[in-house]
Structure 1
Amino acid sequence: MALRIIFMGTPEFSVATLKALAEAGHEIVVVYTQPPRPGGRRGLDVQKSPVHQAAEGLGIKVLTPLNFKEQDERDRFAAFGADVAVVVAYGLLLPVAVLEGARLGCYNGHASLLPRWRGAAPIQRAIMAGDQKSGMMVMQMEKGLDTGPVALTREVEIGENITAGELHDQLMQVGAEAMVEAMARLEAGNLPLVPQADEGVLYAAKIDKGETRIDFSRSAREVHDHIRGLSPFPGAWFEVEIHGRTERVKVLSSERADGQGEPGVLLDDALTVACGEGAVRLTRLQKAGGKPLASVDFLRGTPLPAGSRIA
């Protein structure tokens, strides 16, 4: 028998799991997602979330409450008579009444190896911290932030140069497969739950714009991890004088390189920049309002020779 599932999610990351559950034969009785919000290049268009659009494409009813503070909203959730709720990057804290509003509870797909990196930005924080592995965990939700017992774990190696965007896409597919397996086990009554460890807890705070500027006084390892952890969004950046004007440039990818010098000074004509220890080569960049470019193409229009300073 298929499960009756309430699905709750918002960004593109959640779409793969929604589609996988539907393809597995489960009945998605309703989808909850964040309300449509201003978007587009100038923020003038009201846009439905990726999950909203995907659910409509599948012919599934969509609800977009601002929150679950009102009793009527909680009652409406319970009235669907769902077996289980599946939550993937929904973006709202759920009250206990909702967590207990489905017969078998709520299960969350979280992109980290809990208890490390609970919270909003686990993919970015793992890379920025230099972690060598990440993963997807399916956990049963409870009142605390990502504190519930774990039902299923899938580990993923974090490569030397992988960006947050690339890891995001990999975990998106891994998470969809893991949730389908977890729901099959739940349906069969064979989904064991293991409490999270008390040690090793770290919180993945939302990325603040104030931490996106590159600090070349840090080691090459730290600079490289910072760049790839923020790529493609919001993007790590530096400022440099171009044609007599200070411009901001995002760095979308880099690699560690040989060399030593004063932090922020280019060591060659190929965008190798000295760090506090070692050096990094900037391999993909984007000027404000411009397109992302490989370093060789970027340098054709913006020559930055050895000895130039960026900060």
Structure 2
Amino acid sequence: MKFLVVGAGVIGCYTAARMLEVGHDIKLLARGEKAKRLADKGITIKNGITGEVSTYKVPIIESPVKEYFDIVIVCVRSTQRESVLSTLVSLKGIEVYCFIGNTLKEYDEEAEVLGEDRILTGFTSIGGRWENDELIIVDRKSANIKPFDSFIIGTPFEDSHKHIAVLRSVWKNRGLKMTTYNNILDWHLTHVVIVSQLAAALYRHGGDFKAISDDDILIAVNTMREIFAQMRKHHFQILPRPLNGISFLPRRLVINRIRKRLEGPFTEIGLTSHIHVGREEVFSLVIELRDLITNEGESLPLLNQLVEDIRP
């Protein structure tokens, strides 16, 4: 199968490079100076956990119209989806459009022009940042374990479920893993709840990751408990399911577990880098979260405070 990755940011470049490394037939859509640089120099990736540096000569194209692809992986922010839709529409014969990234927006507009039976959505378990022309990434928790190599994929429309098995088989044959959720919106909701807490704590301390205290974590725990209770009230699930423990385990135990998670380069490089460059995106996601889980007249004081802490 032939793959096209749309979006030459952190996630798009890493996904294209990793898929090329395991033997997939893949090209990356980029434009302007970035396209020229990537075509000339390749994608240089430094692993923030192991320190290894590798360069991947992923084929770069600026116009995909004249080429044939089976699957398109769209790695752009939710605020950029509308801008790439015209490019996606121009492609012919595509079996699957797989949108990767943070989003709480429905895919009705994309379904209208691309076909709801061809749309998948999800996330990938890596993070990183650009330092000049080098991509610093974290794709594992420690140097002595394998990369996550895992895509979290779901079906926003029932008709697209048939593509899950095909995609899983294609990736599995190359050593890549895929976790699937039928209710992928619930997974995205939970992810936004978790990430927004770290964002609020960072913004509260002017971006100083090391200044996050147990008091900040306690605020996060109380806010997550309020939001998770509201999600359950509106019949959303907390996914993955072990995160339900945030609501029911003793607060001190939850604080200690979160503190341990915050240690090390995975959180510092992966999550904080994204949060620093995407404050408006995080704010937009939290507003969408509030709109999804509250009705007129309902007020969640901790969620409202979260909105103010993140407001650009």
Normalised by the length of structure 2, the TM-score is 0.36
TM-score by length of 1: 0.36
If asked which structure has higher relative contact order (CA below 8 Å, sep 6+), I would say 2
Q: Which has the larger radius of gyration?
A: 1
More helix as a share of residues: 2
